[in-house]
DNA sequence: AGCCGCGATGTAAACGATTACACAAAGGAC
DNA sequence: GTCCTTTGTGTAATCGTTTACATCGCGGCT
């Protein structure tokens, strides 16, 4: 079932078959029709490897992720996949890249298999992938200057959230941080610190508990926080998963949220609005993050003339639900979110949102 | 940076370089070392497409999924990816295949790009991929007889869950079903129906509400159920996402769970144990489903002598937490689950589990 | 009539690896 | 010394495409 057999069956040369299949070059209508018939009948489809060998394009995008755990990544991949497919590309994913050596191994293994790379590696500087022979790369929340990148405004989101809590009168606000070394986590922590600093030193004091982005960490943090002699009145978790774990711990201890203590998260994973109480959080446009990165990569692939490297930051949105106790119960318009794709209607639960627009183009 | 340049730089022939790189054939130690040095220095790595053209292997597995939404798929992909990487394979994913035409398009496009396929397509019979020229395929919850397949015991799990509710004294038990046409959903529904049938017709009556596996569907079902003149005392949702939506709706309506009504789910996604109240559900070994499928595929790839087609069904586990009200509060050993990977310790919240072992090998 | 251009097609050279085969040198066995 | 085997290496065919170039009619122009 090679192009050769098709050519023979249609009594033409391979060149003509190729021309018909790729719509390159002129072919008589009748010939074209005949060839198409044969292709259909023989169920021929060209061999990908052979094709990419000569065209030097694979129609495949590589996606390197630090992990594949949780709803965040399924959303991200969803954004990437839908956008890639639209552009006629396949997606090669690869999760759990802890150390630099592993990243390099994958980079090597994928040579000649992908046309470009989307790399998310928050633990690591991008130096590992420095010298990769001109393969276009888009970084997700990375810190390389040399590559295109799409960032999420972690800092701004955290700042807005903590200010929100401060605005509600909270002073003893704890932060449940993400894993050490993780860049996103670090930025959220920085936002927390800076927001706290705007309040008089005597009244507000940093209180950071180490977490790791998993539900369990939040669950364990609950008792730790309650056992202090000056327990916080609000806890800002570095992501929703931990906030949900925290919610569970408080619930078990009989601590009311938000009555006794406010709890907030970060990411706005789809489930956040269905927790009890509904979680106040910072919305990260996850799928959009993926699709934006993909679009950027595709555009760099098509226009080979190297545009300047671009760094873009996606704005986050403060989403006030019940768990922070800050919800305005009257006069809130139902679901005013313009960014949410209409494919996922959540029309019943209303959110109060504030766009925290510190978006920037560096 | 081709093998040719490496050969020239090391003053040997391309054949020798290839032999060193693949450890095929004898090479003098000194020559071998010299070549390795050059490879290192030139940062050479062989071109994937060229290699797969001649070897007829791509070291890539294709994964066709119906969708990429939610925690279920990230778990599944995680299982697949880790197992594939272990075997030295890459993973090409592709989500959202609604109709048959789309599946066929992807099948064509991936010819010569993958060595085998894992296909999950619960909406569809497997006939679409019938005649694919000898490409090894493993079906996930599909209904093809001709291909290897791994199933989840949806029926047994549903049966066990509904019996659990009946055992607690419930008679008016509603079922919030999955999307029409979805095979998993259909099996769970069948389990529900059969369990209900074991109770006297007068006392227990089917009550099925249509859902679609999304949180929102559960949320909307809440009022619908409460507004009936004979509201159910228990609701068995066809998956956890919908159960969580339902929990949120009941919470808002002031209906206590499990006091006023019991709620249960299916899947045991990681977040299920952190809902309020903790969700009673049926555990599906999702990551294992992925890794089992992958292992099967790999083994079929290596031993080309065609074993007979095998169909395997993975057992599910009844996980009793708080939302069903059936939790035995005394004498429950903490976290006795043997199937849970130690990588995700959830040591604080205890589960009471019952292995519903209707596993079978067809 | 001769020339040019163009449309339709065929021929063959790439692309970058693997590998069957050839071959040379060396070492034993006789 | 001849023959055979083993080891180490090189030459060239091969995988299935794309595509530059050549070819061949054919019609229009001068």
Statement: residue B15 has pLDDT above 90: yes
The rounded mean pLDDT for chain B is 85
Query: In the A/B pair of chains, how many CB contacts fall below 8 A?
Result: 196
Distance in angstroms: CA A25, C1' C6: 13
* A82 CA – D18 C1', rounded, Å: 29
> pLDDT digits over B180-239, tens only?
888 899 999 999 999 999 887 666 678 999 999 999 999 999 999 999 988 999 999 999
Which residue on chain A is closest to B269 by alpha carbon?
A70
B242 backbone dihedrals φ, ψ, rounded to 5°: -65, -35
Residue B105 main-chain phi, psi, to 5 deg: -60, -45
Rounded to whole angstroms, what are the CA distances from A115 to A57, A61, A112, B50? Answer: 6, 6, 8, 15
Contact A111 B46 (CB under 8 A): yes
* Residue A330: predicted pLDDT: 32
Residue with tokens 């070059």: A25
Q: Give the residue, B98 or B77, on which the prediction is more confident.
A: B77
| Three-state DSSP state, B59 | coil
Whether pLDDT at A362 is above 70: no
Say whether pLDDT at A47 is over 90.
Answer: yes
Tens of pLDDT, residue by residue over A93-103, are 998 776 777 77
**Residue B358 CB neighbour total at 10 angstroms:** 14
SS3 of chain A: the string is CCHHHHHHHHCCCHHHHHHHHHCCCCCCHHHHHHHHHHHHHHCCCCCHHHHHHHHCCCCEEEEECCCCCCHHHHHHHHHHHHHHHHCCCEEEEECCCCCHHHHHHHHHHCCCCCCEEEEECCCCCHHHHCCCCCCCEEEECCCCCCCEEEEECHHHHHHHHHHHHHHCCCCCEEEECCCCCCHHHHHHHHHHHHHHHCCCCCCCCCCEECCCCCHHHHHHHHHHHHCCCCCCCEEEECCHHHHHHHHHHHHHHCCCCCCCCEEECCECCHHHHHCCCCCEEEECCHHHHHHHHHHHHHHHHHCCCCCCCCEEEECEEEEECCCCCCCCCCCCCCCCCCCCCCCCCCCCCCCEEEEECCCCEC
pLDDT value of position B178: 94
Closest nt by CA–C1' to A52:
D17
Q: Is the CB of A175 under 7 A from strand C?
A: no
Phi then psi dihedrals of residue A264, to 5 deg = -135, 160
* Average pLDDT rounded to a whole number, residues A136-146: 83
**pLDDT at residue A145, rounded to an integer:** 78
Residue B358 has pLDDT above 50, yes or no: no
**Length of chain A in residues, anyone?**
362
Of A46, A81, A113, the CB nearest to B48: A113
Average pLDDT, chain A: 85
Q: What is the residue-wise DSSP string for B182-223? A: -HHHHHHHHHHHHHHHTS-TTT----EE---SSHHHHHHHHH
Q: Which residues of B touch A93 (CB under 8 A)?
A: 77, 81, 91-93
Structure tokens at B112: 């010569």
**At residue B356, does pLDDT exceed 70?**
no
- Rounded CA-CA distance A75/B105 in Å is 24
Strands (E), chain B: 60-64, 90-94, 116-120, 137-140, 148-152, 173-176, 208-209, 234-237, 262-264, 281-283, 311-314, 316-320, 352-356
Q: What is the pLDDT of residue B341?
A: 38
- At B269-297, the pLDDT tens digits run 888 989 989 999 999 999 999 999 999 99
Sign of CA pseudo-dihedral A36, A38, A43, A48 = negative
Is any atom of strand C within 7 angstroms of residue B98's beta carbon?
Answer: no
- Higher pLDDT, residue A354 or A46: A46
Two tokens at B256?
């206590």
Of B59, B111, B247, the CB nearest to A47: B111
Do residues A63 and A118 make contact, with C-beta atoms less than 8 angstroms apart?
Answer: yes
Residue A143: how many CB atoms within 10 A of its CB? Answer: 15
What's the pLDDT at A144? 72
Give the mean model confidence (pLDDT) for residues B140-150: 83
Output the pLDDT for position B342: 36
pLDDT at A181: 80
List of residues 6+ apart from B125 with CB closer than 8 A: B142, B143, B144
User: Taking CB atoms and an 8 Å cutoff, what residues of chain B touch A334?
Assistant: none
pLDDT band per the 50, 70, 90 thresholds, residue B127? low
Q: Read off the pLDDT of residues B17-30 as tens digits, 9 standing for 90 and up.
A: 999 999 988 999 99
- Edge-to-edge strand ranges of the sheet holding B281-283: B281-283, B316-320, B352-356
Whole-number pLDDT of residue A305: 62
Cβ pair B251:A111 closer than 8 A: no
Which one of A216, A217, A351 would you mutate to disrupt binding with B, by most B Cβ within 10 Å of its Cβ?
A216
Q: Is B137 helix (H, G, I), strand (E, B) or coil?
A: strand
Query: In the structure, what pLDDT confidence band is assigned to residue B95 with cuts at 50, 70 and 90?
Result: confident
Average pLDDT over residues B343-355: 52
Q: B45, A111: Cβ pair inside 8 Å?
A: yes
Interface test with B, best of A107, A113, A130 (most B CBs within 10 A): A113
Give the C-alpha separation, B126 to B259, whole Å.
44
pLDDT at A343: 36
Q: What is the pLDDT of residues A302-355, one digit of tens each?
A: 876 667 888 999 999 999 999 998 764 332 333 333 333 333 334 445 666 666
Strand D nucleotides in reach of protein CB atoms, 7 A cut-off: 7-12, 14-20
A193 preceded by cis ω (within 30°)? Answer: no
Start-to-end C-alpha separation, chain A = 51
State the Cα–Cα distance between residues A320 and B16, nearest whole angstrom. Answer: 66
Is B68 within 8 Å of A49 when comparing Cβ atoms? no
Q: What are phi and psi of A336, to 5 degrees?
A: -100, 10
Residue the block writes with tokens 């029309």: A347
């Amino acid at each position: 079932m090679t192009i050769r057999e098709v050519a023979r069956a249609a009594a033409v040369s391979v060149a003509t078959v190729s021309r018909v299949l790729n719509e390159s070059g002129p072919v008589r209508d009748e010939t074209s029709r005949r060839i198409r018939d044969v292709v259909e009948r023989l169920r021929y489809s060209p061999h990908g490897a052979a094709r990419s060998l000569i065209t030097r394009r694979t129609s495949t995008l590589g996606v390197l992720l630090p992990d594949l755990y949780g709803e965040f990544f399924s959303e991200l991949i969803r954004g990437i996949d839908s956008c890639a497919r639209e552009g006629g590309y396949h997606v090669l994913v690869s999760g759990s890249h802890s150390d630099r050596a592993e990243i390099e191994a994958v980079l090597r293994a994928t040579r000649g298999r992908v046309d470009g790379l989307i790399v998310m590696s928050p633990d690591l500087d991008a130096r590992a992938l420095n010298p990769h022979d001109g393969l276009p790369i888009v970084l997700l929340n990375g810190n390389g200057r040399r590559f295109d990148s799409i960032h999420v405004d972690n800092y701004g989101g955290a700042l807005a959230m903590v200010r929100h809590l401060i605005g509600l009168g909270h002073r003893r606000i704890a932060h449940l941080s993400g894993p050490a070394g993780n860049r996103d986590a670090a930025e959220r922590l920085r936002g927390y610190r800076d927001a706290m600093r705007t309040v008089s030193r005597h009244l507000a004091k940093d209180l950071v508990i180490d977490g790791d982005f998993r539900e369990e960490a939040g669950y364990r943090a609950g008792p730790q926080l309650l056992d202090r002699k000056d327990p916080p009145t609000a806890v800002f978790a570095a992501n929703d998963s931990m906030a949900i774990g925290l919610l569970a711990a408080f619930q078990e201890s009989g601590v009311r949220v938000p009555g006794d203590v406010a709890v907030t998260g970060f990411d706005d994973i789809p489930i956040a609005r269905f927790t009890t109480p509904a979680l106040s959080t910072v919305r990260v446009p996850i799928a959009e993050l993926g699709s934006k990165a993909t679009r950027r990569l595709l555009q760099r692939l098509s226009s080979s003339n190297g545009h300047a490297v671009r760094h873009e930051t996606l704005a986050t949105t403060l989403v006030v639900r019940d768990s922070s106790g800050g919800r305005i119960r009257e006069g809130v318009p139902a679901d005013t979110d313009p960014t949410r794709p209409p494919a996922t209607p959540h029309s019943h639960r209303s959110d109060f949102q504030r766009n925290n627009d510190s978006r920037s183009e560096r």
